[in-house]
Amino acid sequence: MAGATLNPPEDLPLDLPLDPPGWTRAPERGSIFWLRVMIGITGALGWRAGHLLLFPITAYFLAFSPRQRAAARQFLGRALGRPAGFAALWRLYFSFAASILDRVWLASGRTAGFEITVHGLEALRQRMAAGQGCLLFGAHLGSFEALRAVADAGCPVDVAVLMHEANAARVKAVFDALGGAGRAASVIPLGAPESMLRVREVLECGGLVGLLADRAPPGQRLQRVEFLGHPAPLPTGPHVLAAMLGVPVMLAFGIRLGPRRYAVHFEPFAERIGGGGRVGRDAAVAASVVQYAARLEAMARAHPDNWFNFYAFWQEGQP
């Protein structure tokens, strides 16, 4: 593969905490639970019936999730530049519920009725045409499943997603329920001895490896950077991985625009992170986290109803 060095330096571990234990907390388990609920509803009644049920579901969670509501109100206030009222909260909660409903359909390959517009695809195609493997940094902003739907629509290279082992097992169970065992095989569970070997294998074949790079739980490598005007902790692990592998990085966001309407955005991020020894690599990683935070902030301001981090984002990682 052109431009890539896939033998990791001895001072960097193979098993990086990219999808950390904090992602396995109750909100993640709740998302999987509601995925199962949506599978049952839509399997029996169809997408339109499921969409109608989103209204009482949204009302219920908006009324009975005070901590998540407070976190959402804090984010919206900073993203919008004004206090968040009921309408802004409703749009955010409803968009999250709708993305779960759509995820059921997209994960099972039922894309009829969906409108997915892709931006920046040419830059990604150039990577693939050159046989150059690439990391895709995403976030809990919009639908990562919309990105995978684009990959399933005829991507000529392997696409894999790095995910914490516990979450990977839950996602596999959901895909199995949808009859999508092949899709589950594209999930690489961190924590397994062969995880980084599989990552290198995909990249060496010119494939794409996606990961969500925005959550920063306690006990992991963190860097506090400015995000929406306040210092927020972001994980350095994804950027260390990119430096370790020496591969290009692109950003990828699947933004929900309305009922079954998505805009998928790909954009170049870095040709290579790091170089010049450990000191130079550390400085490059730190600069990369700042750059990522700036792009995430721009997308969050442009699409605040796609922000799906329902916890105190700025306080995460504090004692």
Q: What is the pLDDT of residue 22?
A: 32
Determine the pLDDT at residue 186: 80
Q: 278-291: per-residue pLDDT in tens?
A: 768 899 999 999 99
Q: What is the pLDDT of residue 127?
A: 83
DSSP secondary structure code for residue 308 in this structure: -
Q: How many CA atoms lie within 13 A of 93 on its CB side?
A: 26
Band of residue 158 on the pLDDT scale cut at 50, 70, 90 = confident
DSSP three-state, residue 192? strand
**d(C-alpha 233, C-alpha 167), whole Å:** 22
Angle at 299 between CA 65 and CA 86, to 5 degrees: 35
At position 51, the amino acid (one-letter code) is: H
Do 264 and 252 contact (CB within 8 A), yes or no? Answer: yes
Please write the tens of the pLDDT for every residue from 84-139.
Answer: 999 999 999 999 999 988 988 887 778 889 999 999 988 888 888 888 899 999 99
Residue (of 205, 165, 208) closest to 189 by Cα position: 165
Q: How confident is the model at residue 162 (pLDDT cuts 50, 70, 90)?
A: confident
Which position has the token pair 């388990």? 29
pLDDT tens column, 192-251: 778 889 999 999 989 899 999 998 655 678 999 999 999 999 999 999 999 999 999 999
Residues 58 and 10: their CA atoms lie apart, in Å, by 49
* Per-residue pLDDT, 216: 63
Query: Judging by beta carbons within 10 Å of its beta carbon (0-12, 13-18, 19+), is residue 206 exposed, middle or buried?
Result: buried
| Residues 137 and 252 sit within 8 Å (Cβ to Cβ) | yes
Average pLDDT for 45-58: 90
